[in-house]
Structure 1
Amino acid sequence: MEKEITERSIRKKIIIIGSAHPLRGGLAAYNERLALEFQQMGHEVLIYTFSLQYPSFLFPGKSQYSEEPPPAELDIRVAVNSVNPLNWWFTGRRIRKEQPDIVVCKFWLPFMGPCFGTLLRIACRGRSTKAVSILDNVIPHEKRPGDRAFTRYFIRACHAFIAMSRSVLDDLRRFTPDKPARLIPHPLYDNFGTPVPKAAARRELDLPDTGKIILFFGFIRPYKGLDLLLEAMHDERIRQAGIRLLIAGEFYEDRDRYDRLIEQYGLADQLILRTDFIPDNAVKYYFCAADLVVQPYRSATQSGITPMAYHFEKPMVVTRVGGLPEMVPDEQVGLVTDPDPASLAGAILKYYTFGEAHFVPFIQKEKQKYSWARMARTILELSDVVQK
């Protein structure tokens, strides 16, 4: 109780720069949920989101924008143009005039380095504002020219960092060995609604009431390894077990190669394809309808799918890459395997040998570590220890 009073008595003004409504997706959900946590702790929070996040020719999906209403409890300013240096200057000055104590910036892609790096330099100039970055990645999954220079420019503008996996923290230390940094796992996504019974979720999605259904969820990109999972579905043991794969998420690359794999292996009757963007209010049905969530990634730092699965108390199969095994204790919360089709098929079958009841108590215990309060408190603590 004393700790809560102390937190509430030191009211800070916090500005979050990054994706938020009217933009959609996991980045927006993260920033909005973090803002709510700060508000619940008694702090004043503004979010400065993008007027232009990606030029349309760089955006791989169908739409960057949500059709859902804005969150009424949040103050979101649509202001940042990721490719316009004049906008960075004006928006940085606008943020500086707000006189925030802390600016929080979630970094996931070197492309954003020039924009975010300039905004932070201007917003924090000449006063005690501290810039704290939450790092999704430092070295991206899909490398492009200029990545290291853009990332270095951004990192030099920040005072402190939070890495959500050990591999990201290690990557950060290649750029800055001395700046304050903490390792805090990705908090649970608890803003997609409460779990519903499996039967009700399947009815909502018009899925069979019975039968074995596993889930691949999220944007489809090469590093996420959906092609490996499709090859695993071709395994005769999977076919004989009657396991079906529900693919829920929008293609962020050309889907032709996946269609060719489906045709080549004759998988059509084993798949349930829902490959449009999944709105926030439908997420719970996909997780709750499945027996198991599979993340067959070729590479990873951490994944926002893991905290979603934790929230809905769904066991996981994850590959032994990046930070994924850190959050999924093997044979407890789920199963960890190699990123190849035979290993994935074996892990899926092993899950059904164990049964869901084996995993749920471990999930319920382990999920207690992943709180938004811990993330918010760490940001506040880092801002206090930083020397400008």
Structure 2
Amino acid sequence: MRICVVGPTYPYRGGISHYTTLLVQHLRKAGHWTRLYSFTRQYPRWLFPGKSDRDPSASPLRTECEYVLDPVNPFTWWKLCRKIRNDAPDLLILQWWVPYWTPSLTIISRWIKRNTDIPILYICHNVMPHDGGGVLDRRLALTVLRQGDAFIVHSDQDRVRLLALLPNELVVRAQIPTYAGVATQSVGVSAETIRRQFKLPAQRPIIMFFGFVRPYKGLEYLIQALPHILAKLNVHLLVVGEFWSSPEFYARYAREFEVEHAITFVNQYVPNEELQPYFDLVDVVVLPYISATQSAVVQLAFGFGKPVITTRVGGLHEVVQDGVNGLLVPPQDEHALADAVIRFYENDTAAMLQAHVQQNHRDMFAWETLVQAIEQTQHKLQSRVHTK
């Protein structure tokens, strides 16, 4: 099969960039001719909420691609369309996650639909943005997605949301595959190096919150849970990730609940070669999300063999199985969160969960499964054309 994919890849950072790169690698591994078109830039600097959208990794995850698309330069949209038409693929894969992409993706999709017979598959990382979901967000999503011929989502929640917008469309749910492939060799960096750098306690268990710190991720509830945890366990909380909201907001929570001594904040994006040492340091990853569809951080944790404690929101419970590869609690409930952390360290629960993750995560969340879902979807679209 001939496939064109449009999406971020190196030098851009983050979960969707890694997802795109790994997807293209596995499509090629499966024998499909696959051309990746990426961005000459993603966002104007003033619009990006983080420090930079560039990956600082010394050993980045990368794959062959052509940089064409600038989402604020319409001339590049036409250029991309013509390249895709000349490639004559059997399938065009576009990706949707935030309304910012509405103008460029709408025009590109419409042009392809009007000027070619190429079917369009949208991979929807989020049908609605994490911090949105209002009338405007629904209209923008509908404007783009109505141009698609089929869709892949990563949670039942997003499948329901998408079918509410487009009731008669072909929507396939497929889990986010493992992010173990993001790990690169740690050169000169070890868990002990990081422990010394941030003066982490040597004899205390460490739990970790990992990823961009944004309001919907509920870090404040983990901080509120700490006094209850510390009453039973002498643990240390390591918060690792670039803050997209005020660091002082969370520091104030730590002071208010008198747990500053038990928290270390690492306000930075972690390059690929340092991922393994951070995960080697900790026993469990705790993600107290208030809302979510799915989470690449969960797959990153599993990829490094770590269980996850998280909340029953969105599609997280479809991946984190309570008592099997992690523990689940209600959202916005610091007492339940504290109880889960305490329970994790009791009665060999930690060893049992970790053993299951390490033995099963690659088979449960294989990229081959997503590739097969794409192949089957393309065959269904092809069958529709032949029966018309």
TM-score between the two structures when normalised by the length of structure 1? 0.90
Name which of 359, 366, 369 aligns with 2:353. Answer: 359
Pair 175,109 (structure 1): closer, same or farther in 2 beyond 3 Å: same
- Given the alignment of the two structures, is residue 342 of structure 1 paired with residue 332 of structure 2, yes or no? no
Q: Which residue of 1 aligns with 2:150?
A: 160
Other-structure match for 1:370? 365
How do 1:20-169 and structure 2 match up within 5 A? 20-68=9-57, 74-143=63-132, 146-169=136-159
* TM superposition shift of 1:276: 0.7
Give the residue type in structure 2 aligned to 1:263.
R
What is the alpha-carbon distance in structure 2 between the residues aligned to residue 71 and residue 177 of structure 1? 40
1:69-100 Cα shifts (integer Å, max 9, x gaps): 68697222222122333332332223222222
- Return the match for 1:314 from 303, 306, 315: 306
CA distance in 2, matches of 1:360, 1:212: 15
Cα distance in structure 1, aligned partners of 2:227 and 2:106: 46
8 Å CA contact 2:214–2:245 kept in 1: the answer is yes
Greater shift, 24-33 or 115-124, is seen at 115-124
Which residue of the partner structure matches residue 206 of structure 2?
213
Q: Does 1:251 align with 2:243?
A: yes
Task: Choose from 254, 261, 268 the match for 2:260.
Answer: 268
What residue is the counterpart of 2:182 in the other structure? Answer: 192
Question: Deviations along 1:136-167, whole A, 9 cap, x unmatched?
Answer: 11122212673122211111111111111110
Q: Which residue of 2 aligns with 1:331?
A: 323
Is the 8 Å Cα contact of residues 185 and 273 (structure 2) preserved in structure 1? no
| Count of aligned pairs between the two proteins | 374
In the alignment, the residues of structure 2 paired with residue 214 and residue 384 of structure 1 have an alpha-carbon distance, to the nearest angstrom, of: 45
SS of 2:89's partner is coil
Question: Using a 3 Å threshold, how does the CA distance of structure 1 residues 151 and 240 change in structure 2: closer, same or farther?
Answer: same
Structure-to-structure mapping, 1:289-304, within 5 angstroms: 289-304=281-296
CA contact (8 A) 2:311 2:328 kept: yes
SS of structure 2 residue aligned to 1:152: helix
Q: Partners of 2:261 and 2:10 in 1: how far apart?
A: 37
Asked if the contact 2:213–2:244 (Cα under 8 Å) also holds between the matched residues in 1, the reply is yes
The whole-number CA distance in structure 1 between the counterparts of 2:142 and 2:82 is 22
Q: 1:72 to 1:320 in 2, by over 3 A?
A: closer
| AA partner of residue 376 (structure 2) | E
2:176–2:299 Cα contact (<8 Å) kept: yes
Query: CA-to-partner distance for each residue in 1:330-381, whole Å, 9 max, x for gaps?
Result: 1111111012211111111111114321213432235522110110121121
- Corresponding residue for 1:9? none
Range with greater deviation from structure 2 (37-46 or 109-118):
109-118
Aligned partner letter, 1:158: G
CA distance in 2, matches of 1:27, 1:72: 12
Q: Which ranges in structure 2 are unaligned for 5 or more consecutive residues?
A: none
Summarize the Cα distance change of 1:140–1:321 in structure 2 as closer, same or farther, 3 Å threshold.
same
The letter of the residue matching 2:166 is T
TM-score, normalised on structure 2? 0.90
**Inter-CA distance 203–52: structure 2 relative to 1 (3 Å threshold):** closer
Question: How far apart are the structure 2 equivalents of 1:73 and 1:42?
Answer: 18
Range 53-62 or range 64-73, more displaced:
64-73
Question: Which amino acid is the alignment partner of residue 203 of structure 2?
Answer: T
Task: Check whether the contact 2:10–2:61 (CA below 8 A) recurs between aligned residues.
Answer: no
**Structure 1 gap segments, 5+ residues each:** 1-11
Q: Secondary structure at the match of 1:82?
A: coil
